[in-house]
Amino acid sequence: MKQHRARGKVSHPRGFLAGLLATATLIAGCAPAEPLGPYEQARVHNQNRSVSADFAQHPVVVEDPFGFETSQLFFPSSEILVVVDETTAAALRGASVALVTHAPMLVYKPEMHREVVEEIRRLGAHTVLTVGKVSLAPASGSVSVIRDPGGLEALGTMTAYAFDEVVVESPDDAVQAVASVGEQEQKWLRASWADPEVAPQARAAAVPASSPRDADMAPKVVATHQSDLAAVVNARSYGADVDVVDDPNPVTSDETFMTMVGLEDQPLLALGQEFGTDEELRSRIRGAEAIYMPN
């Protein structure tokens, strides 16, 4: 005799049904959240960084044509100091060495000779590399002053690195050229229009190098193409990235706003008077957030 299986509803214990309902509820609760828009992503990125307590915990605007303020801001000490004349060509050449050796850079004027000497003492520098027309006499002993003789070979002798030549077409491109040099790159930033003046008794000699200082603890740093080149060099030599924007006002440029969003009450270093005062920059960031992120 054939056996027939009973057909009908399958009954389940109440506990099983309760568990199934709870699982469905959990799955519904894990549905993907609404993706962040570009401004929200930029804000999260800007705020998700650890900044050293050595820096102001609010936006700061720095005008620093000769490099003294940023040297003091980023470098409590340094074995080497690069000093260049007032030409952009000399500053680019000096930057090429400063970025590799992680050294501060100053711009020299005869009437500021005393301030340069005082900064050498503050830093405790043992080696000063001069580029161009700089009236610091070569010396030996506690402080050695080396005059750069120019050329590609001298860069290798001074730093023990092989440099690639990068031609900078215009002084207007100088800030971007410095900001674009990678951490592990050795670039001779050579001005297309002129090489720096070579001072008498110039010779290539080895200079000391340090490691990057920032340890990923630098504030967000922004600049424009018109920013003070020495200030940009010092920020990069310290190890900070520098974002170069075309418009210093976040209210009138969404690209600039994305570099600053969320930082109205956070560490932010803006290089150049075109960013306004500290409070003006803070107010502009808030105003831009009201425009671009009204909700």
CA-wise closest residue to 214 among 183, 243, 185, 240: 240
Quick one: average pLDDT of 279-288? 97
> What pLDDT digit, counting tens, does each position of 36-72 carry?
888 999 999 999 988 999 999 999 999 999 999 999 9
Q: What was the pLDDT predicted at 203?
A: 93
**pTM reported for the whole predicted model:** 0.86
Beta strands in 100-236 (DSSP E): 105-107, 127-131, 144-147, 164-168, 187-191, 220-224
Strands 220-224 and 242-245: parallel
Q: What is the mean pLDDT of the chain?
A: 89
Percent of residues, the chain, with pLDDT higher than 70: 87
Residue with tokens 């050329």: 151
Q: How confident is the model at residue 1 (pLDDT cuts 50, 70, 90)?
A: very low
CA 34 to chain centre: 32
Lowest-pLDDT choice from 4-13, 134-143, 193-202:
4-13
**Contact assessment for residue 102 and residue 235, using Cβ atoms and an 8 Å cutoff:** no
| Alpha carbons 116 and 230: distance in angstroms, whole number | 14
pLDDT grade, residue 19 (50/70/90)? very low
Residues 141-166 have pLDDT tens digits of 789 999 999 999 999 999 999 999 99
- Beta-bridge partner residues of 269: 60, 221
